[in-house]
Structure 1
Amino acid sequence: MLRLHSLRHARFETEAEIAAWAQERGHSLSHTDLWNGETPPHPDSFDFLIVMGGPMNIYEEDAHPWLAMEKRFLKSSIEAGKLVLGVCLGAQLLAEALGGAVTKNAHREIGWHTVSAGPDASKSRAFASLPQEYAAFHWHGDTFSIPPGAQWTARSEACAHQAFSARNDRVVALQFHLETNAQSMAELARNCADEITLDPVKWPYVQSAADMAARPERLASLRGLLFRLLDNMAAPV
């Protein structure tokens, strides 16, 4: 059994299908609500750290003072050899922790868009068994550079750097959301409605909430991809 622990940055961005994977595989899952003033546990208390998304940017430390503490905690968890998965904001935090840069992306990317395998995907134990292309759920306006020594494992039309793996696949960052389910998608659409700017010229990669919720079969496919990625990360080396 693995001991999972997640860092949450907002009330409405939870582990979603990651929690389902942990339950089905017999792993435990605890969490720290950073947004609510909670402090993460010592890295010795978990095996697999999940760093969730959030509506803030990684450089907004004045508005969210706990970000500075979290950045130190991520570095210590990585150096302790923990499995670490970062999602969206979490991926950006991992990129910075490993020496990458986080900047505004050329496009805001919200909704369902195709992700393609990056040039290093076949070299990554975490990503090698994923399809060459798949539909993923997105909600971001920033992007990251691939950190030194990391493998570039996914990209999309709107955002070149969608994922990377590092430290022999013990650290994985996803700009997109594989953990999304119907409830988490609805929560994002409700709490971040001001970011859904429907202008096909200025914002060509932003979809309406109705378009996002259409074709619910995509969620089942997403769940399968998430489970495969997490199984790959959790497998003994």
Structure 2
Amino acid sequence: MRIHYIIHASFEKLGMIESWIEKNQFQASGTHTYKGEKLPDVSAFDLLILMGGPQSVRKLDQYPYLRDEIALAKNAIQQGKAVLGICLGAQLVGEALGARAEQSPCREVGIYPVHATQEAAADPFFKQLPKAFDVIHWHNDMPGLPKGSVLLASSAGCPRQAFRYGDRVYGLQFHLEITPELMRDMIEHCRDDLKPSDYVQTAEQLVNQDVTAINQKMEKILDYLASCIAKTKVKST
């Protein structure tokens, strides 16, 4: 399987996604669009992963390269590729499907629960999870809900935490991939985001929590997307 990932900041890396790729010996390539690197053709990958970042999709004039990412995601979806958007990436996937990103009612930074919707009980990935489970939040914005998609989760501070479009396109406003090392990097580079608020934890709270169970959920959704791709390849042979 061929994976292409898009990175939006030096401190928002793949986290445990990298170890999952290595464990499965998948091919991987990446684009750092914030450095001006060019995106690949859609034929170059089976799974597209759009990572988080400090940029805002509501300010495309300030970050014009995000328009190219939206176009790539739209093309990938139309070509039947698997697509996973995380945080900023979820907002980009929403935009690719015609749903405008919006400011979230609350800024969320920390480990807080999300609550699955009734529709999540029939979702191939979410049906494996509890009705409420902890995730890592680090956002001010949230994705729109694309027409034809399924809302899968919400939280006390944000009504749109996850959606699915078709059987292999997911947008997760929250993070499941962040490792302790990556958490420390984000704290170092984004301390202004830790200003006290209803759903903002302190740096000390963030670094002292066990993220093992959260990372395991990231592995489950990646395994599911890989299975979708495998089934498609079998059908085409």
One-letter amino acid of the structure 1 residue matched with residue 207 of structure 2: A
Pairing 1:145-184 to 2, within 5 Å after superposition: 145-168=144-167, 170-184=168-182
Match of 1:220 in 2: 212
Pairing 1:122-133 to 2, within 5 Å after superposition: 122-133=121-132
Structure 1 residue 214: deviation in Å? 1.3
Q: C-alpha separation between the residues in 2 aligned to 1:66 and 1:39?
A: 9
**Conserved 8 A contact 1:11-1:35:** no
**Conserved 8 A contact 1:155-1:162:** yes
Q: C-alpha separation between the residues in 2 aligned to 1:22 and 1:51?
A: 15
**Conserved 8 A contact 2:14-2:177:** yes
Runs of 4+ in 1 over 4 A off after TM superposition: none
Pairing 1:76-115 to 2, within 5 Å after superposition: 76-115=75-114
**Conserved 8 A contact 1:125-1:233:** no
Q: Secondary structure at the match of 1:59?
A: helix
Structure 1 residue 13: deviation in Å? 0.8
**Conserved 8 A contact 1:112-1:136:** yes
Structure 1 residue 38: deviation in Å? 0.3
**Conserved 8 A contact 1:130-1:228:** no
Structure 1 residue 74: deviation in Å? 1.4
Structure 1 residue 59: deviation in Å? 2.6
One-letter amino acid of the structure 2 residue matched with residue 137 of structure 1: I
Match of residue 206, structure 1, among 195, 200, 204: 200
Structure 1 residue 62: deviation in Å? 2.5
**Conserved 8 A contact 2:111-2:135:** yes
Give the TM-score normalised by the residue count of structure 2. 0.93
Greater per-residue helix proportion: 2
**Conserved 8 A contact 1:52-1:89:** yes
Stretches of structure 2 lacking an aligned partner (at least 5 in a row)? 232-237
Structure 1 residue 102: deviation in Å? 1.1
Structure 1 residue 211: deviation in Å? 0.7
Structure 1 residue 25: deviation in Å? 1.8
Q: Secondary structure at the match of 1:20?
A: helix
Structure 1 residue 87: deviation in Å? 0.3
Stretches of structure 1 lacking an aligned partner (at least 5 in a row)? none
Q: Among the aligned pairs, what percent are the same residue? A: 35
Match of 2:4 in 1: 5
Match of 2:234 in 1: none
- Does 1:68 pair with 2:62? no
Match of 1:229 in 2: 221
**Conserved 8 A contact 1:19-1:29:** no
**Conserved 8 A contact 2:58-2:102:** no
State the Cα deviation string for residues 35-75 of structure 1 (Å, max 9, x = none): 11001111111100000001010132222221122211111
Q: C-alpha separation between the residues in 1 aligned to 2:142 and 2:227?
A: 29
Structure 1 residue 91: deviation in Å? 0.2
State the Cα deviation string for residues 162-205 of structure 1 (Å, max 9, x = none): 0001122x11010000001011111111111111111xxxx200
Pairing 1:17-56 to 2, within 5 Å after superposition: 17-56=16-55
Q: C-alpha separation between the residues in 2 aligned to 1:21 and 1:129?
A: 19
Q: C-alpha separation between the residues in 1 aligned to 2:173 and 2:155?
A: 10
Structure 1 residue 151: deviation in Å? 1.0
